[in-house]
């Protein structure tokens, strides 16, 4: 029996998801400045639950669980991709296979935590970086984390949203504004192309985060310029 596919939100839930996303960013803003806190997989699952609180989904277990989670039958073997089908029968870009996520997600979380801890060690707590090198380091980390999360595509749906929450968490941690909209996603076509560039295809699933890095640098600069000094 085919499993329910979750590609789109229920049309009537748009306003609720936007409200949930705004509330989540407000919550994260308080936690991001606590440098003793670095999110792990459990926190990201909670983000996913908060984003879809009160929304209609094809299978309740799709919310707050990663693809391949053995506790949700419909997520076992659930594969995702974006773009047109290619000659090999796979989409243009493919999320990491669900059978590999049990290893890949903890590995990525460890890398993210290490990257955050490294920046924590060289930046001043509670002070927005002012040197070009420091700002670049924050943008680079935000873009890489966003891109790698999109590359894995660990959820049945909501991967871009949780990736943007990650990016905003990093920005807020170092006293920058939450510069990338969670829902709706940034309207620029370049954002969609950057997200796709971060994804790969089997067997190596290698992505390219350079477009997202350039875009995030511009988006952050524009966000800062639009704010009163």
Q: Which CATH number fits domain 11-75+93-225: 2.60.40.10, 1.10.3290.10, 3.40.50.280, 3.30.70.100?
A: 1.10.3290.10
Question: Is pLDDT above 80 for 225?
Answer: yes
Percent pLDDT > 70 in the chain is 99
Neighbouring residues of 14: CB distance < 8 A, sequence distance ≥ 6? 183, 184
CA 36 to chain CA centroid, nearest Å? 21
Alpha helices in 123-198 (DSSP H): 132-152, 159-173, 189-198
pLDDT single digits (tens) 4-60: 999 999 999 999 999 999 999 999 998 888 888 899 999 999 999 999 999 999 999
pLDDT single digits (tens) 134-145: 999 999 999 999
What is the rounded average pLDDT of the residues 154-182? Answer: 96
What is the rounded average pLDDT of the residues 212-217? Answer: 96
Cis peptide before 184 (omega within 30 of 0): yes
- Residue 1's pLDDT is 54
pLDDT single digits (tens) 82-124: 999 999 999 999 999 999 999 999 999 999 999 999 999 999 8
Question: Is pLDDT above 90 for 177?
Answer: yes
């Amino acid at each position: 029996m085919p499993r329910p596919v979750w590609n789109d939100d229920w049309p009537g839930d748009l306003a609720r998801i936007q409200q949930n996303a705004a509330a989540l960013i407000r919550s994260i803003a308080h936690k991001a400045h606590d440098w003793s806190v670095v999110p792990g997989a459990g926190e990201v699952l909670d983000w996913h639950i908060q984003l879809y609180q009160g929304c209609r989904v094809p299978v309740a277990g799709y919310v707050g669980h990663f693809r391949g989670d053995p506790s949700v039958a419909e997520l076992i073997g659930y594969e995702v991709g974006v773009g047109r089908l290619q000659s090999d029968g796979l989409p243009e870009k493919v999320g990491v296979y669900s059978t590999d996520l049990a290893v890949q997600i903890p590995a990525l979380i460890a890398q993210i935590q290490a990257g955050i801890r490294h920046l924590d060690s060289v930046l001043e707590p509670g002070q927005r970086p002012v040197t070009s090198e420091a700002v670049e380091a924050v943008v680079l980390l935000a873009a890489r984390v966003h891109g790698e999360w999109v590359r894995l595509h660990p959820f049945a749906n909501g991967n871009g949203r949780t990736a943007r929450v990650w990016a905003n968490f990093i920005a807020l941690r170092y006293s920058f504004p939450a510069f990338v909209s969670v829902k709706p996603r940034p309207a620029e076509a370049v954002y969609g192309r950057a997200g796709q560039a971060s994804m790969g295809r089997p067997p190596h699933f290698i992505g390219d985060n350079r477009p997202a890095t350039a875009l995030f640098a511009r988006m952050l600069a524009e966000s800062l310029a639009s704010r009163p000094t």
